[in-house]
Structure 1
Amino acid sequence: MTTVGLLYPGHFAEDDFPRMEILLDAVRLVVNRTDIDEDAYVIDALIRTGSPEHLAAGVEELQRAGVECVVWASGGGSFLYGWEGAHEQAAALARATGVPASSTSLGFAHAVRELGADRVAVASTYPERITGLFADFLHAAGIDVAVTHAASLGSAAEAAAWDLDRVKELAVAADRPEADAVLLPDTALHTAGHEADLEELLGKPVLTGNQVTVREGLRLARRRSWSPRLGKLFAEREAPPAPVVAWGEGRERAHGGKRGWAAGE
Structure 2
Amino acid sequence: MNNTPNSDTAEEFRTTSVRDDITLDSGPGTWRIGLIVLSNDYTVERDFMNMRPNSDVAIYATRIPFAPDCTVASLKAMAPSISEATQLLVPDGNLSTIAYACTSGSVVIGYDAISDRINTIRPKATCITPITASLAALDCFAAQNLAVLTPYVDEVNAKIAAHLDQAGKTITAFSSFKIEDNEEMAALTSEAIFQAALKADRPEADALFISCTAIRAAEVAARIEQALGKPVVTANQAMFWQSLRAAGCDAKVQGFGTLLKQF
TM-score, L = length of structure 1: 0.80
One of 71, 76, 94 as aligned partner of 1:66: 94
Bigger CA radius of gyration: 2
**Superposed displacement of residue 195, structure 1:** 1.6
Is 1:35–2:35 an aligned residue pair? no
Contact map agreement 2:212 2:235 (CA 8 A) in 1? yes
Q: CA 1:211 to 1:59, structure 2 compared with 1: closer, same or farther past 3 Å? A: farther
For residue 139 of structure 1, what is the aligned residue in structure 2? 165
* Over 3 Å off, 4+ runs: 23-26, 62-65
Is 1:127–2:153 an aligned residue pair? yes
The residue type equivalent to 2:72 in the other structure is I
Distance 1:145 1:56 in 2: 36
Give the 5 Å matches for 1:34-53. Answer: 34-36=64-66, 38-49=67-78, 51-53=79-81
Distance 1:74 1:168 in 2: 21
Give the 5 Å matches for 1:164-203. Answer: 164-203=190-229
**Superposed displacement of residue 218, structure 1:** 2.0
For residue 117 of structure 2, what is the aligned residue in structure 1? 92
The residue type equivalent to 1:20 in the other structure is M
For residue 134 of structure 2, what is the aligned residue in structure 1? 108
Contact map agreement 2:198 2:224 (CA 8 A) in 1? no
Q: CA 1:19 to 1:205, structure 2 compared with 1: closer, same or farther past 3 Å? A: same
Cα deviation code 1:72-126 (max 9, x no counterpart): 0101111113xxx322322331222121212111111111112221211110100
Contact map agreement 1:33 1:58 (CA 8 A) in 2? no
Q: Any gaps of 5 or more consecutive residues in structure 2? A: 1-29
Distance 1:172 1:17 in 2: 25
Cα deviation code 1:119-151 (max 9, x no counterpart): 111101001231121111111122222221121
One of 48, 54, 77 as aligned partner of 1:17: 48
Is 1:57–2:73 an aligned residue pair? no
Larger mean Cα displacement after TM superposition, 214-223 or 176-185: 214-223
Distance 1:60 1:105 in 2: 23
Distance 1:104 1:147 in 2: 20
The residue type equivalent to 2:128 in the other structure is S
SS at structure 1 position matched to 2:216: coil
SS at structure 2 position matched to 1:131: helix
Q: CA 1:191 to 1:24, structure 2 compared with 1: closer, same or farther past 3 Å? A: farther
TM-score, L = length of structure 2: 0.81
Is 1:3–2:32 an aligned residue pair? yes
Size of the alignment, in residue pairs?
A: 231
Q: CA 1:181 to 1:79, structure 2 compared with 1: closer, same or farther past 3 Å? A: same
Contact map agreement 2:224 2:232 (CA 8 A) in 1? yes
**Superposed displacement of residue 54, structure 1:** 3.8
Q: CA 1:152 to 1:47, structure 2 compared with 1: closer, same or farther past 3 Å? A: same
